[in-house]
Chains A and B, each alone.
Chain A
Amino acid sequence: MTKLHENKNMQLFLGLLMGIVFGFLLHKGGVSKYDIILAQLRLTDFTVLKIMLSAVIVTMLGISYLYPKGMVKIQVKPGSIKNSIIGGLIFGVGFATLGYCPGTIAAAVGNGYLDGLIGGMIGIIIGSGIYAAFYSDWKKKRLITEDKYSSLSMFDSMKGNPFRYTLPFSAILVIFMIILEIAEL
């Protein structure tokens, strides 16, 4: 596996291939469409949340099996609770204003949404550039920080078999989705 991980050209090809599958699925899920994303944020349709939570359960249970065997590596982002709250809220404002997120906008472009291609994508690139320009300054002013949760996964804090924690947690997420299903009727 390490050999495959280090084969650069093969990885670029795999990235493209997995992107094609991801884009195919995002379109089949309907989340390449502004109307479905905004309906989620206006709480009239819960497609986005249903897709996300089902994906989370499968990946989390898969990691619970593969991680103790050393077959996958945990790779979580650095940062702080403060970054997550401030950045999360800013992201949310952009999410609802644009009507797509960085992944679904690529799917929207494939679906034919020109406001995504010549509006949103350019905006996200400009926004990322603005962040890069202010990064040093904001870090110095401690607007951007790192805390004890930086790059921390609860998989590394668990004692014993991860399924002891992830199975009950998955059950909670399933119950939450059942409640959503009932509330939608």
Chain B
Amino acid sequence: MRIFTMVQWSPYIVGILIGALNLVAMLLSDKVLGASTSYAKASGMVRNFFDKEYVKKNEFYLQNAINIDWGFMLVVGIIIGAFISAALSNDFSLVLVPNMWANEISNSFFVRFIIAVFGGIVLGIGSRWAGGCTSGHGISGTSQLSVLSWVASIFFFIGGIATAFLIYGF
């Protein structure tokens, strides 16, 4: 099956299939695609390991139960699915520093690592503040016609585009 061994498909085909997958999730699981909440649950699990009392009293974790649920398994599945696709198309390779960053900024893994952790922290705070991420708001919320999701998604890109130009120049 050549289709499975192709490295890249048309973005429109991929988008249509993700849209269909979202409908299947709504029908079979009463859920929508979204990833960021699982990281909040993971943060609660880590915190719970060190300090159970803290998690028991924390308002955020009281409102957002820290358990392994459908959404958590979804993120685990994403890793496996991407690996299967990459392996089938001979596209799997261990990368320490992405090409564009290495060519234009620095090929030091240490620098990339520090920036990635920093970026991740900012992303984690932002996704909880906005209440979702590129999938939860950007695809699922917008397609359910949530005004908040449309506003959040537009500002994801405003912030992202501005920052990308600051990092790489105009």
Contact = CB atoms under 8 A, between A and B. Distances in A.
B124 A123 contact: yes
A30 B8 contact: yes
Contacts of B113: 115, 118-119
Interface in A106-149: 106-116, 118-133, 135-136, 139, 144, 149
A88 B158 contact: yes
B95 A81 contact: no
Contacts of A112: 86, 92-95
Interface string B92-112: 111111111100000001001
A175 interface: no
Looking at A60, A62, A83, A84, the one whose CB has the most chain B CB atoms below 10 A away is A84
Interface in B110-154: 112-149, 151-154
Nearest to B40: A128
A42 B152 contact: no
Nearest to A59: B143
Nearest to B117: A123
A120 B11 CA distance: 25
Contact of B145 (A60, A88, A96): A60
A5 B155 CA distance: 34
Interface string A81-93: 1011111111111
Given A58-B19, A62-B19, A107 B77 contact: no
A38 B122 CA distance: 17
A95 B82 contact: no
B65 interface: no
Looking at A19, A56, A73, A86, the one whose CB has the most chain B CB atoms below 10 A away is A19
A185 interface: no
Interface string A11-33: 11111111111111111111011
A28 B8 CA distance: 5
Nearest to A60: B143
Given A83-B148, A110-B79, A128-B40, A99 B74 contact: no
Nearest to B147: A149
A55 B86 contact: no
A139 B39 CA distance: 21
Given A15-B77, A58-B16, A76-B146, A104 B120 contact: no
Interface of B: 6-9, 11-12, 14-36, 38-40, 42-44, 46-47, 58-61, 68-86, 91-101, 109, 112-149, 151-165, 167-168
Given A26-B14, A35-B99, 14 more contacts: A23-B81, A25-B81, A26-B81, A83-B148, A90-B159, A91-B159, A102-B39, A110-B78, A119-B112, A119-B116, A127-B128, A128-B40, A128-B42, A139-B59
Which are the 6 A-B pairs with shortest beta-carbon distances?
A19-B77, A123-B120, A92-B159, A127-B124, A54-B15, A58-B19
7 contacts: A11-B70, A51-B12, A54-B14, A55-B143, A92-B155, A103-B135, A123-B120
